[in-house]
Structure 1
Amino acid sequence: MRIPITINKNTLKTYNDYDTNKKIINTLQSNNLEEWDKEIPKNLQEICLETIAKNWEAKPLLDEIPLTIDQCLLLDILPTELPLGLTIPKINDDIYWKRCYLQRWPKLIPENVSLDIQISEIVKVNNGSRKSSTTNSASSQRSRKSSQEQQKSNKRTWKECFLEMHLREYLEKLKPEDYDAEKIKELSDLCGIYVKILELRELQSSENSPSRIPLNAIVTGLENLTELSICFKQTYVGEKFSWNILKITLQDIKLLAKGLEKIHLKIFRLRNSDIDDEKMIRILKSLLKHDELHTLDFSHCKISDEGGVALSKFCLLNSVNTLVLANNQIGTKGMEALSYVICQSACRLSTLDLKLNPIGNEGANHLMKPLTIGVRNIKNLYLSGCGIRHLPSLGEMIEHNSSLEQLNLSNNSLGEEMGKILLQGLRYNTSLTKLDVRMCKLLSMDEFEILRRINNNKLAKRCPRTMKKPIIIEPQYNFYISEELLNEIESAFEKIDENEEAVDEVEQT
């Protein structure tokens, strides 16, 4: 066979398209695998499902469809803008609610929820129909995940996450002038069963007053609510600035307290708001019957010593184990009351966050006493930025305490001598696994040695065989409290009752 060594010019022009070649120079082309079935004609099954999806608002059919595979394919193509009054009672499958959530809030991925679809995926079906558009798995069967399995795994459903975000967005944008009691009741009836966590990052204020929307009707309608987080301030103001956006009326707090009395929470947070002692005491009184409440957060508020006394009384009557009071105005008197409560057997506090409170050396000294004399409940203690200086009782507490695991002392001017005292206390301590002494004006060598000893405690806990037994040393003092402060703790909630009775008498006259 003779191989030609030249090519005819006309043949070259025919097979060489210069315009096309110029466009594809230095470009990569790949096959679009998403449109592999574009030219395949739809079968009767898919045409019927598309027709049902288009007319679903007029005639909602789901459970009436006999085959599970047809139901799942219908959920893949159903519009996500359907009215909630139709979809909430009719659709429980997470495959639909995940589409609704990610289409509306694509950047806000919820926590403790399975990112994969809650239904087993399909790759092929025996009748040869095409696979679902959301299929990523290699499984050949599709079965609905039962609600019992979801409860065992402690995973939140996409339906719950969607309805929680929907209610949160509606309430955050709702102005008091536009409040409609009937619409709120209708929304609570639809979403109330599914909403377990409600986080309100802001609440709109009225144009002429600092009043917010009444929260009692909203909270009361959420019968399964276990976690509530509220911030009364308004985030985005624009050109219509007013001091009312930073204030909270006492009437708003009364309405919130009335709603809290009718539910049972596990976590309650009221942060970054205009909450003083009187307002906080009203809220605490409404939370007394919440037997399962384990986390209480009043950070970035205006709570002072009187509020600290009321909180100490609340901790005696309730089983709270996490108390967050960061960035408040609690001083020596409040710390003395809290220190007394920590000593009591009825107190279940394990985490106490007091950072950015002006407790000073005297208040910190009150707190060191119960931790030194054998209180074993407190595991985590945060005292960052509390104005603590040279405090020898701190080293003695570390030496005697055998239960404290985390201690934050950062941003306190402890001084160089305190570094030696802390090291002396760490000689016998085997429980501390985290001790933060940054920005405390310690010597760098002492800070390094403290870190080394803390790391040794961590390694010892990982290997219990090598862990040393704590050396228990009897403390040299006991904890006492004045009778006057003890009476204040006992009557912390009675002042509110007296004020309410006085107001009622004035209104009657």
Structure 2
Amino acid sequence: MLIRMQQPAASDRSTAIPSLYPSQASPTADSKYKHCIAEDPEWSLVTVPCLTELCLQHIADHFEKNPILDRLLPEHQRKVLDRLSTGLPLTVTANLISDEDYWKRCCTERWQVCNISNYGYSWKRMFFERHLENILKHFIPNTTDPNQVLEVIPLCKDYVQKLEVDQLLPPVKVDQKEEMDDLSDMGLEEVSTHHYDLGVLITALPHLQELHLSYGVKDCGMNFQWNLFNFTYQDCCNLAVAVKKCHSLKVFKLTHSTVDDDKTRLLVRNLLDHPCLVELNLSHNLIKDKGARAVGKLINHSRLETLNLYNNQIHHLGAQALAQALAKNSTLISLNLRLNCVEDEGGKAIGRALLTNTTLKSIHLGSNNLSGPTAILFSQVLAKNTTLTSINFSCNHLGLDGGKHLLDGLAENKALTEFDLRLTEVGQETEFLIHQIVWSNQEAARLGSLQQPLAKLL
């Protein structure tokens, strides 16, 4: 900063000498000879930051090369974290920064929708789970460098508990369309459409509890090909082995992936006696009776609590196999068989199983071509079973007589709180009376839940 002092004229130099005593100083002389002219007119002493602030800013600006954080005072750490860029390499920030505010900025700047409740209210967990999911969704075998996955494993393995991958790409490029069509005509699509093997990843995540997968392509547009949705037998082998080794896994969902009977049996063989698995979802697949029979074996050789086989091709033989397992089971709480075709033979088999089963709370048999005989047997279930709280018979043909039998069975039932009879042709009056009983059970259950805490206090 250059400061120039205006020099007095020669004739006035004798009067320009400042007095040693303030009372003798001349106001005119002060205003004339002590005026400062600064080079920067906006410069002010107030804006000069203190040395501490300069140091903290330097640390934030050079954090990638020299990450200093633990040695700072707590208030200084806060200032540095607030100034850090969210674009820093994960190799620097992953295992060094645990501050939730920093990871919140990383999430909100990258994704528009951030529901932290789905991630245990942890922003850091959300970031690493969604970051890893994004890598897997866009991984193209034989094209994408596998190190993209391998390098992120040591960074995220302590934070990932759930993976939801609704797209897995096969090794198909847009400019290979004609070549792939030729291979498809030759029956060689299995050779060229294997997906990324998740085995290395899944077994390296010690805290993974939920795995949701769909082998297909989203938004393929004009590049649609059937082999983009081909979950091959080799894919199934790789996945089954990986899931077997993942002892921490509690929830496994494999949906919209053309899983047939052979692949179902392969999966079941590797899931038998799994130590932690409590929920299995194989909905929207191609499972038939043989696959359902394999799942029935799994029911009594695991700790399954929730089983979802919604929208498959299970008929009465498969339903009978599931019913046989259900009659002996003591862990399953929820069973969803919606949108299959079990018909009355399968429906009655399941009803007979529920006469002895004492653990199942929810069953969904909607859209299964059921009619009066199933309703008659379930009237006995309603009169005897005290565990079931939810039944869904929607979109079946139970008829007026079937509805009356269900109403009679409900006369003494105090447990059922949900009963869906939409589009079952039971008649409006019967449906209204049934809903009145169910509503009464709901109120009793609600009052009971309110009285329990009071009883504990007393």
- TM class by shorter chain equals 0.7 to 0.9
Does residue 1:449 correspond to 2:433, yes or no? yes
Counterpart residue number, 1:368: 351
Superposed, 1:236-275 pairs within 5 Å as 236-264=219-247, 265-275=249-259
Counterpart residue number, 1:314: 298
Does residue 1:381 correspond to 2:363, yes or no? yes
Greater shift after overlay, 408-417 or 104-113?
Answer: 104-113
Does residue 1:80 correspond to 2:86, yes or no? yes
The superposition leaves residues 413-460 of structure 1 with CA deviations (integer Å, 9 ceiling, x where unpaired) of 211222211111110111100101111122211111111110111122
Amino acid in structure 1 at the alignment position of 2:237? K
Does residue 1:53 correspond to 2:60, yes or no? yes
Counterpart residue number, 2:316: 332
Superposed, 1:359-508 pairs within 5 Å as 359-372=342-355, 374-391=356-373, 392-464=376-448
Counterpart residue number, 1:353: 336
SS in 2 for 1:412: coil
Decide whether aligned partners of structure 1 residues 168 and 112 sit closer, same or farther in structure 2, where only a CA change above 3 A counts: closer
Pairwise CA RMSD of aligned residues?
1.8
**For residues 355 and 98 of structure 1, what CA distance do their matches in structure 2 show?**
40
Task: Structure 1: give runs of 5+ residues left out of the alignment.
Answer: 1-38, 114-154, 468-509
Amino acid in structure 2 at the alignment position of 1:59? N
**For residues 68 and 398 of structure 1, what CA distance do their matches in structure 2 show?**
63
**For residues 351 and 166 of structure 2, what CA distance do their matches in structure 1 show?**
36
Amino acid in structure 2 at the alignment position of 1:379? K
**For residues 288 and 49 of structure 2, what CA distance do their matches in structure 1 show?**
70
Amino acid in structure 2 at the alignment position of 1:365? K
Does residue 1:169 correspond to 2:138, yes or no? no
**For residues 363 and 328 of structure 2, what CA distance do their matches in structure 1 show?**
17
Identical amino acids, percent of aligned pairs:
34
Counterpart residue number, 1:89: 95
Match of 2:110 among 104, 121, 126: 104
Amino acid in structure 2 at the alignment position of 1:381? I
Distance apart, 1:255 and its partner CA:
1.1
Amino acid in structure 1 at the alignment position of 2:59? I
Superposed, 1:175-194 pairs within 5 Å as 175-194=140-159
**For residues 43 and 445 of structure 1, what CA distance do their matches in structure 2 show?**
81
Decide whether aligned partners of structure 1 residues 339 and 87 sit closer, same or farther in structure 2, where only a CA change above 3 A counts: same
Asked whether the 8 Å contact 1:261–1:289 carries over to 2, the reply is no
**For residues 363 and 140 of structure 2, what CA distance do their matches in structure 1 show?**
40
Distance apart, 1:42 and its partner CA:
4.7
Superposed, 1:122-141 pairs within 5 Å as none
The superposition leaves residues 308-365 of structure 1 with CA deviations (integer Å, 9 ceiling, x where unpaired) of 11111111110101000000111111111111111215x4111000000100111101
SS in 1 for 2:419: strand
Does residue 1:159 correspond to 2:124, yes or no? yes
**For residues 418 and 45 of structure 1, what CA distance do their matches in structure 2 show?**
81
**For residues 327 and 90 of structure 1, what CA distance do their matches in structure 2 show?**
46
The superposition leaves residues 352-393 of structure 1 with CA deviations (integer Å, 9 ceiling, x where unpaired) of 000001001111011000112x31111001111111111211
Asked whether the 8 Å contact 2:143–2:171 carries over to 1, the reply is no
Asked whether the 8 Å contact 1:88–1:190 carries over to 2, the reply is yes
Greater shift after overlay, 285-294 or 100-109?
Answer: 285-294
Decide whether aligned partners of structure 1 residues 359 and 55 sit closer, same or farther in structure 2, where only a CA change above 3 A counts: same
Match of 1:234 among 178, 199, 217: 217
Asked whether the 8 Å contact 2:116–2:122 carries over to 1, the reply is no
Amino acid in structure 2 at the alignment position of 1:103? E
SS in 1 for 2:338: coil
Asked whether the 8 Å contact 1:359–1:387 carries over to 2, the reply is yes
**For residues 203 and 301 of structure 1, what CA distance do their matches in structure 2 show?**
16
Task: Structure 2: give runs of 5+ residues left out of the alignment.
Answer: 1-45, 173-179, 181-191, 452-458
Counterpart residue number, 2:20: none
Greater shift after overlay, 50-59 or 281-290?
Answer: 281-290
Greater shift after overlay, 84-93 or 286-295?
Answer: 286-295
Distance apart, 1:189 and its partner CA:
1.8
**For residues 385 and 41 of structure 1, what CA distance do their matches in structure 2 show?**
75
Amino acid in structure 1 at the alignment position of 2:263? K
Does residue 1:279 correspond to 2:286, yes or no? no
Amino acid in structure 2 at the alignment position of 1:310? A
Amino acid in structure 1 at the alignment position of 2:428? S
SS in 2 for 1:81: coil
Decide whether aligned partners of structure 1 residues 40 and 428 sit closer, same or farther in structure 2, where only a CA change above 3 A counts: farther
Amino acid in structure 1 at the alignment position of 2:368? C
SS in 1 for 2:117: coil
The superposition leaves residues 294-317 of structure 1 with CA deviations (integer Å, 9 ceiling, x where unpaired) of 101000011111111111111111
TM-score, normalisation: structure 2? 0.80
Distance apart, 1:72 and its partner CA:
1.3
**For residues 92 and 138 of structure 2, what CA distance do their matches in structure 1 show?**
24
Superposed, 1:12-91 pairs within 5 Å as 42-65=49-72, 67-91=73-97
Q: How many residues are paired up?
A: 384
SS in 2 for 1:253: helix
SS in 1 for 2:116: coil
Counterpart residue number, 2:207: 224
Decide whether aligned partners of structure 1 residues 446 and 60 sit closer, same or farther in structure 2, where only a CA change above 3 A counts: same
SS in 2 for 1:334: helix
The superposition leaves residues 219-264 of structure 1 with CA deviations (integer Å, 9 ceiling, x where unpaired) of 1221221110000011121222211112111111111122222212
Amino acid in structure 1 at the alignment position of 2:230? K
**For residues 454 and 435 of structure 1, what CA distance do their matches in structure 2 show?**
7
Amino acid in structure 2 at the alignment position of 1:414? L
**For residues 46 and 239 of structure 1, what CA distance do their matches in structure 2 show?**
56
Counterpart residue number, 2:193: 210
Decide whether aligned partners of structure 1 residues 254 and 371 sit closer, same or farther in structure 2, where only a CA change above 3 A counts: same
**For residues 45 and 106 of structure 1, what CA distance do their matches in structure 2 show?**
36
Distance apart, 1:44 and its partner CA:
3.9
Larger helix share, 1 or 2: 2
